[in-house]
Amino acid sequence: MAVVSVKDLRKRYRAGDPWAVDGVTFELEAGEAFGLLGPNGAGKTSVVKMIAGLIHPDVGSISLFGSHPGNPAARAQLGFAPEDPDFPKFLRASEILDYFASLLGLDEAERKRRIPETLAFAGLDAERRQIRQFSKGMKQRLGIAQAILGRPKLLILDEPTADLDPLGRRDVRALIERLKQSGVAILLNSHLLSEVELVCDTVAIMGKGRVLKEGTMEEVVPEGRNLEDVFVELFQAASPKRDQLPSFIDEGQSR
């Protein structure tokens, strides 16, 4: 059975608006890393939010561990690190993890074991400040930490390395590799194509809510080329050229 199965998913935020997600279909198996790519506004975050049960599709169906994403038992097996994560701002990192561990139903002994280890993994074990004093990078690391706290069978990472330094990115890549090996399914939503190419087995490239290209990495990226070439080729024709700088940029230099 697929960990997650998405069929003909459609979503629009207001009546009359174009579809934000328009007929997306894919499946993800245990131990598989699936990359969801696309330019800004392609509908990637809408897809992962529907899988996490945060927003509802207008059309189509989602099966998460054979159940509806609204089912808390299905979500108990899901770890979700959202894009630009935020948390109750007057709490500390350890309190956030304890809060989420309680929501996951972890008992006292398990919380005492997992929380310090997870904080150490995120590099936040010595952090005593409240979330409102955290940088974006620290929030992102906490976002990943809370996502793995429940030992999920499906980990959804929405732009997980956007605010991380190179060391943080390396750690996330290593985490994905280790989780894949232990049978965890990974759904990675990222703009960093080189990273996706390194860790994902299959990819789907989205544009304007639709899947434009999908398959294993070998199928999507022909030999001798890379994912960025394929991506640029796919979208170059549709996007206006931006090779001309605004006129005022040159004004100072000509004076």
Q: Which of residues 106 and 199 has its CB atom nearest to another protein in the complex?
A: 106
Pairing outcome for strands 185-189 and 154-158: parallel
Q: Please choose, out of 1-9, 27-35, 99-107, 200-208, the segment that lies near another protein by the rule CB under 8 A.
A: 99-107
> What is d(CA 227, CA 217) in angstroms, rounded to the nearest whole number?
8
Site string for another protein, 42-81 (x = CB under 8 A): -------x--xxxxx---------------xx-xx-x-x-
Q: How many residues bind another protein (CB under 8 A)?
A: 32
For residues 49 and 1, the answer to whether their CB atoms sit within 8 Å is no
Least spacing, CB of residue 74 vs another protein, in Å: 8
218-241 b/e (C-beta count within 10 Å ≥ 16 → b): eebbeeeeebeebbeebeeeeeee
Binder of another protein out of 85, 168, 207, 209 (CB under 8 A): 85
Asked if residue 195 lies in contact with residue 166, where contact means CB atoms within 8 angstroms, the answer is: no
Edge-to-edge strands, sheet with 202-207: 78-81, 154-158, 185-189, 33-37, 202-207, 210-216
Q: Which is nearer to another protein, 8 or 86 (CB)?
A: 86
Distance CA 232, CA 172 (A): 25
Interaction of residue 2 with another protein, rule CB under 8 A: no
User: Closer CB to another protein, residue 51 or residue 220?
Assistant: 51
Query: Could you say whether residue 102 binds another protein (CB under 8 A)?
Result: yes
190 touches another protein by CB under 8 A: no
| Cα gap 19→68, rounded to integer Å | 22
Ranges within 123-162 binding another protein (CB under 8 A): 130, 143, 146, 150
Give whichever of 75 and 205 is closer to another protein, judged by the CB atom: 75
Residue of 19, 26, 34, 87 that binds another protein (CB under 8 A) = 87
Question: Minimal distance in Å, beta carbon 104 to another protein?
Answer: 6
- Binding segment for another protein (CB under 8 A), chosen from 86-94, 189-197, 220-228, 240-248, is 86-94
Q: Distance between CA atoms of 152 and 181, rounded to whole angstroms?
A: 14
Q: How far apart are CA 85 and CA 228, in angstroms?
A: 26
Strand partners for 22: 10
Contacts 24+ apart (CB under 8 A), 11-14: 11/43, 11/46, 11/50, 11/55, 11/57, 11/58, 11/59, 12/58
State in angstroms the smallest separation of the CB of 89 from another protein.
Answer: 7
State the residues that interact with another protein by CB under 8 A.
Answer: 49, 52-56, 72-73, 75-76, 78, 80, 82, 84-91, 95, 99-100, 102-105, 130, 143, 146, 150
